[in-house]
Copies of this chain bind each other. A is one copy, B any other.
Amino acid sequence: MSDVDYCVVGAGFAGLTAALRLKQAGRSVALLEARDRVGGRTYTLTRDDGAWIDRGGAWIGPGQDRIYALMHEFGVPEYKQHNDGDAMMIVDGKKHRYGGKLPWTMSPWAVANLGLALLAVEKMCKTIPRENPWEAADAAEWDRISLGAWIEGNVMSKPARDMLDMALGGLYTCAASEVSLLWALLQMASGGGPGFCITGKGGSQDARPVGGMGAIYRPMAAQLGAALHLQQPVRRITQDADGVTVASEGMTVRAERVIVAIPMAIAGSIDYQPLLPADRSLLHQRMPGGAVIKTSVVYDEPFWRADGLSGQSAAAGTPVTITIDACTDTADPGIMCAITEGPAARELTKLDEAARKAIVVGELVDRFGEKANAVVEYHEQNWTIERYSGGGMISHASTGVLTEYGPSLRPPCGRIHWAGTETSTTMCGWIDGAIRSGERAAAEVLAARSTAGFTQAALS
C-alpha cells in the first residue's frame, strides 16, 4: 500500500509526462505500468554500439512543440529523416520510381483526382472545431459514414482511390471502412491537415531524436525514480469521498486523484468502482485500436541510398504496406523499416515468425534488389498483439461515436482524469499529442477540487 498525492496509470509518453510534471510541481506520485518497460507505443532498442532501433513511434515534425520542449529539457538533439533519392510505388506488382510529391506514373486524370480529393479533405478539416468536432456544421453527415465510404463516393479514379485508402486509411492501421470520416478529419486537422500527415520532409516524418525515442523516455523514467512501478497491470480503480484506490496485480496505491493514460480499449478492461458514467463506459467500447507490425531489418549499410533510392516505398494491399529508411544519424548500420498496416498486418499475424520473415524480406528484395537478402539483424514488433496496447498505432472512433460520445473524451469522471494522445486537440495520434495530453491532465489534477459524489448523476 503506497500513499501518494497522485497516481498515474500507464508509462507511455502521456503517463510519463503527467507523472514528471506532477513530481516537478512538488507532489508525490506513483506511476504504475503494466509492462516491464516504459515507453508504451514507443520502444527503442539500443545496441551495444550505440545504434538504435525504434520499434514503435519514431518520427517528429514541425509544430510538435511539446516533444521538442522535452528534447530540449533532456538535451536530445534531432536529426533529419533521410529523404534523398527516388521513392517507389508498387501498383499491381509493378514498380514505379518517382522523384516528386506525386507519382508521375499515374495518369493525369488520376493525379488530378488525387489532388482534388486532398484539397477537399483539407477544406473539410478546416471547418472542424478541434475542441468540439461534433459541432462542425457537417458533423452529423461526416460522422454517419466511414472514411472509406467518402473515398469511394468522391474519388473517381481507381489508382487515386487506392492511394488515398493507403495514405489516409493507413494512418489508422485498419480498413478505411472502419473509421468515421469525422474522426479522420479531426485527427488530420489536429496536425494541420492531410498534408502534414502524409508528408515526410516538413511533415510528420521530418526528423527523429538522436538516440531514438528512448533518449527522451529513459531520462524521464530516471527522474521519476522510485515513483515508477513496472509490471503492475491495474485491475481496479475505486473512488470514494476522500480519494482513489488503484489496485494492480501486485500493489495498491491510495491517492487524491488518478490519471489514466492508457489506450481506450485497455482502459475499458479496468474494473471501476463505482461504475464510470455511461457515456464514458460506452466510449471505451467504441475506440478500437488498429493492427500494425513494424519490422526493422538491419544491413551492413543503407545500400539503397547508393542506388539513388530514398528507401521509401508504398504498396497497398501487400504484406509490406510501406518502407522507410530508419537509419541513425550516422547511417551506420543500414536500417530499413517495413511497416505492415491494417488487414495485411492481421494476415501476417496468423503466420509463424519464420514465414513472416521470409515474406517481409522477400518484399524488400523485390523492391530494393538482391542486397536486401543480406540481413544482419531482423526485429519485428507486432503491436497488433501487444497485450497492453490492445493494437496499434492509435485508437480511432467508429461512425457515430464522436457526435454521440465525443464530449466524454476529456472531462474527468470524479477523481479519474484521462490522458493519451487520442484526447489531444493538437497532434492527436502522435507522440507530441501524448505529451500534450499528459501535461493537460497534470494541470487538471493540480487545479482540481474535491468532487461532490459518485453516483451516475454526480459523475456525469
Interface residues of A in 432-460 (CB under 8 A from B): 455-457, 460
Residue A11 at the chain B interface, CB threshold 8 Å: no
A175: which B residues are within 8 A, CB to CB?
400, 403-404
Known: A149-B149, A279-B346, A349-B460. A177 touches B144 (CB 8 A): yes
Q: Is the CB of A391 within 8 A of B285?
A: yes
> By the criterion of a CB under 8 Å from any partner CB, how many residues of chain A are at the interface?
54
Q: Is the CB of A352 within 8 A of B455?
A: yes
Residue A387 at the chain B interface, CB threshold 8 Å: yes
Q: Is the CB of B149 within 8 A of A144?
A: yes
Contact with B along A64-95 (1 / 0, CB 8 A): 00000000000000000000000000000000
With both beta carbons as reference points, the residue of chain B lying nearest to A178 in the complex is identified as B400
With both beta carbons as reference points, the residue of chain B lying nearest to A152 in the complex is identified as B144
Residue A384 at the chain B interface, CB threshold 8 Å: yes
A149: which B residues are within 8 A, CB to CB?
144-145, 149, 399
**Once bound together, how far apart are the Cα atoms of A271 and B279, in whole Å?**
24
**Once bound together, how far apart are the Cα atoms of A187 and B175, in whole Å?**
22
Which of these, B145, B177, B387, B391, contacts A403 with CB under 8 Å? B177
Known: A282-B346, A282-B391, A289-B282. A178 touches B398 (CB 8 A): yes
**Once bound together, how far apart are the Cα atoms of A177 and B346, in whole Å?**
27
Q: Is the CB of B349 within 8 A of A456?
A: yes
Contact with B along A134-147 (1 / 0, CB 8 A): 00000011011110
A460: which B residues are within 8 A, CB to CB?
349-350
A351: which B residues are within 8 A, CB to CB?
457
Q: Is the CB of A399 within 8 A of B177?
A: yes
With both beta carbons as reference points, the residue of chain B lying nearest to A141 in the complex is identified as B152
Give min CB distance, A284 to chain B, whole Å. 8
**Once bound together, how far apart are the Cα atoms of A398 and B230, in whole Å?**
35
Interface residues of A in 8-52 (CB under 8 A from B): none
Residue A429 at the chain B interface, CB threshold 8 Å: no
A275: which B residues are within 8 A, CB to CB?
385, 387
Which of these, B269, B285, B384, contacts A288 with CB under 8 Å? B285
Give min CB distance, A26 to chain B, whole Å. 36
Residue A237 at the chain B interface, CB threshold 8 Å: no
Contact with B along A146-177 (1 / 0, CB 8 A): 10110010000000000000000000001111
**Once bound together, how far apart are the Cα atoms of A355 and B456, in whole Å?**
13
Residue A291 at the chain B interface, CB threshold 8 Å: yes
A457: which B residues are within 8 A, CB to CB?
350-352, 355
Contact with B along A408-445 (1 / 0, CB 8 A): 00000000000000000000000000000000000000
Residue A220 at the chain B interface, CB threshold 8 Å: no
A399: which B residues are within 8 A, CB to CB?
145-146, 148-149, 177-178, 398-399
Residue A343 at the chain B interface, CB threshold 8 Å: yes
Which of these, B140, B177, B279, contacts A140 with CB under 8 Å? B177
A294: which B residues are within 8 A, CB to CB?
none
Residue A127 at the chain B interface, CB threshold 8 Å: no
A-B contact pairs, 23 of them (CB 8 A): A144-B148, A145-B146, A145-B149, A145-B399, A148-B399, A149-B399, A175-B404, A177-B404, A265-B268, A269-B269, A275-B387, A277-B349, A278-B346, A281-B385, A282-B289, A282-B384, A282-B391, A285-B391, A349-B456, A350-B456, A350-B457, A350-B460, A352-B455
* Closest 7 pairs between A and B when the two form their complex, measured CB to CB: A177-B400, A178-B400, A398-B398, A285-B288, A269-B269, A350-B460, A144-B149
